[in-house]
Structure 1
């Protein structure tokens, strides 16, 4: 279109004339207001989300843990083999087992010391350690177990926390000449998990939920929050006493049921009482589960 024709088209346009001031609107956001986040979303190159993103960038991980997890997923940890790839001549030997060359997969996964740590940690959650051979396979295996764990957030952050503790132990042995036993290292893992300070399904703290399974220090008062309890079958030769009740009002009519459950194939209930008594439990009684 020639310039003269363009001017003719412009002259025919009917420009609306409203009795209001013009305002500037940002078209890249629903509200019309500018934000750095909306500008970044408009200009950035969007890539598919990495399958390990939910593990590495978990909301309850400390920033130093997430940073280490990102380096681990991208193969950027400065192990001996990685340093050799950069042209640096070093003699490689794993600081944990002192037998094999120190590659990323060996140090964090296949080393006998690391393997024993993963075995114990997985056993805390009732899993069998899958022994993946690569870091990406490891993250995929770990993510797949999220669907089977009642402690989803704790299991999710555990992958990177254990890796960070193993890396710290490696550095202490290399540069400080000190070493810790597997038991001591697992205690450090528990301490790192406590630093995350996240809430799981209404539980006040990680200590309250994991004191029996993992052995973390339990808090003295469980508070007034709702505690989700998962029923477990008693161990062989043990008798489990199950108690439950409810009330209409406080005080008010109440019912109480109780009975021992034996470690048999089918639980046997021995006793039950209904409409027994009512008293203000919430204000005068604290139960320690």
Structure 2
């Protein structure tokens, strides 16, 4: 609470400097506070006349608004389905992946292949999985991602002498199948600990978490912890180590 940073009605500078980022300290110390005992602190969002924070008022601070285009008001309309509006918007901005658009990237549409697996024979298949059971896999999206990755490979000097003709020949022998698999968590015969870790960059800020359940599926312990700076592998390992250490300490 703000009152915890006041001393005899004035800012407790030592405490402010202890908890507040240095760049904000002068602004806080220059702010006059009229302290009233027994009255709760209220946060005032100055960019908004009402004093209440809103996402729109925050956006107004950090982005530069462009002039409204009247024609777009007919496209982005509540009576028009979103996917229709989005398609029209992409069309007007020349963002539709037509053959001409693909050619502008320096790649002929005919050279866009639908998988990247050299060495497969005709009996082997490529599986494109659908993440959610009731939804269909988007072949167009898969092709786009593969084209993007292929373009990145072509720009790699180390692959300038790669035999792409053999790769395309192998790819033409591949088949595509759509398969939906149900993946679910099952109760283990005894207590089980699941952990995970992640990194914002590699290396970068890392963190981890985990959950421990008994053989009946009941929650025993759950945690989430910051792990400082490191790699994604360090995050995974330290998260597992934290969970295992807790289990050992509690028998």
Give TM-score scaled by structure 1 length.
0.24
Give TM-score scaled by structure 2 length.
0.27
